[in-house]
């Protein structure tokens, strides 16, 4: 990820509609998992640390990231264990986490083998523990934003399902998200590719919005979170979520 992208995320993550909405969808998928409030959790690729804070009420939260810049931001707001490391070789013992989360990490160009990273997530999960993934969806949505955040791949529901099964995990829920806004995002990104010269120094899609628009877009994602919480899924979207479980012993 380009350095300016980490700074943008650090400044906007607490209040920006997209981050708040994604956390709401995350909570809707993890409602039953987080009920115990006594979990040992890992955020694999924790970035600037917003999700470490979000999960802190549910148990012990560990985080790691490849970027020293991101870890500096994360350490400033989270007092738990934070390490520097690579998702393809996790710096943790096997079978030690009740929940592993990874948000928009496996698609990064810094990850040479996303299936190897998934197998590492499975390795560190305790028996019957859970993995929650969020990934960018659909190659047709590739844009300037992907270049700035070093995105190298995008996924479909079928690809995520197959990959989880290959590493021995059982998919429980897979759904697209940011779906109600999908037509607008698709058209905007097609227009951007036609009108804009794509460079890594250009801004990402994460940028401030007006107060009213920020509130409106957040409410759209809250509607999606409520729909997913009821057990439904979306057939297409800008992102894809997957909840999977490791087999028991």
**What are the pLDDT tens digits along the chain (249 aa)?**
666 777 778 888 889 999 999 999 999 999 999 987 789 999 999 989 989 988 988 999 999 999 888 899 998 887 778 999 999 999 999 999 999 999 999 998 889 999 999 999 999 999 999 999 999 999 888 776 677 667 779 999 999 999 999 999 999 999 999 999 999 998 888 777 666 555 545 555 667 889 999 999 999 999 999 999 999 999 999 999 999 999 986
* 155 burial level (CB within 10 Å; 0-12, 13-18, 19+): buried
pLDDT value at position 9? 80
| CA separation for the pair 70, 128 (Å, rounded) | 31
What is the residue extent of each domain of the chain?
3-246
Alpha helices, H only, 132-181: 144-148, 157-166
Distances from the Cα of 240 to the Cα of 13, 50, 92, 103, 175, angstroms: 19, 19, 26, 10, 6
Query: Which class in CATH covers the domain with range 3-246?
Result: alpha beta
The sign of the CA dihedral 218, 219, 220, 221 is positive
């Amino acid at each position: 990820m380009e350095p300016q992208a980490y700074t943008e995320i650090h400044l906007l993550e607490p209040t920006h509609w997209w981050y708040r909405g994604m956390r709401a969808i995350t909570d809707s998928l993890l409602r039953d998992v987080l009920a115990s409030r006594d979990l040992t959790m890992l955020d694999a690729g924790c970035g600037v640390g917003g999700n470490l804070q979000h999960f802190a009420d549910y148990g012990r939260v560990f985080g790691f990231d490849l970027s020293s810049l991101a870890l500096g931001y994360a350490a400033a707001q989270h007092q738990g264990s934070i390490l520097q490391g690579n998702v393809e070789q996790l710096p943790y013992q096997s079978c030690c986490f009740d929940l592993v989360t990874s948000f928009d990490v496996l698609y990064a160009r810094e990850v040479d083998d996303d299936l190897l990273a998934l197998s590492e997530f499975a390795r560190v999960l305790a028996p019957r523990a859970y993995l929650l993934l969020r990934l960018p969806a659909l190659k047709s949505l590739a844009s300037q934003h992907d270049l700035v955040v070093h995105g190298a791949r995008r996924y479909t529901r079928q690809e995520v399902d197959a990959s989880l099964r290959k590493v021995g995990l059982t998919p429980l829920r897979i759904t697209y998200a940011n779906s109600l806004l999908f037509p607008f995002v698709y058209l905007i990104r097609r227009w951007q590719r036609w009108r804009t010269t794509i460079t890594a120094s250009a801004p990402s899609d994460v940028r401030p919005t007006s107060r009213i628009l920020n509130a409106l877009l957040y409410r759209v994602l809250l509607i999606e979170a409520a729909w997913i919480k009821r057990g439904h899924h979306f057939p297409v979207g800008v992102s894809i979520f997957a909840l999977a479980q490791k087999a028991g012993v």
